[in-house]
Amino acid sequence: MSLTKDDVRKIAFLARIRVPEERLEPMAGELNNIVGWVEQLAEVNTDGVEPMTSVVETETPLRADVITQRAISDKILANAPDGEGSFFAVPKVVE
């Protein structure tokens, strides 16, 4: 499987990273090198092998349903690049 310039454009949009038009072709090359290299995994027989879900075999902990964090909007908003009142603000979205 080889990635085309178009594939890179699509993936870059999925990841919301603007890759300049002139970088698409070289990026496709770089990604193909890496993908081609990791494809050696296809040689490994993994029939009947479970994919690893966690390296440590412990159960997921559950927390008590209690309120531990309230009214910290000053901390939440402290680093906001744009906002109004206690809202975050982004460019207008049309649904």
The yes or no reply on residue 94 touching another protein (CB under 8 A) is: yes
Select from 5, 21, 29, 92 the one that contacts another protein (CB under 8 A).
92
Q: Which of 26, 34, 36, 33 is nearest to 1 (CA)?
A: 36
Q: Using the rule CB under 8 A, is 33 a contact of another protein?
A: yes
Span 42-81, contacts to another protein by CB under 8 A: 42-44, 46, 49-56, 58-73, 75-81
- Contacts for 11 with CB less than 8 Å, ≥ 6 apart: 3
**24 forms part of the interface with another protein (CB under 8 A):** no
22 contacts another protein (rule: CB under 8 A): no
- 25 near another protein, rule: CB under 8 A: no
Q: Is the dihedral of CA 74, 90, 10, 27 positive or negative?
A: negative
Q: What is the number of residues in the chain? A: 95
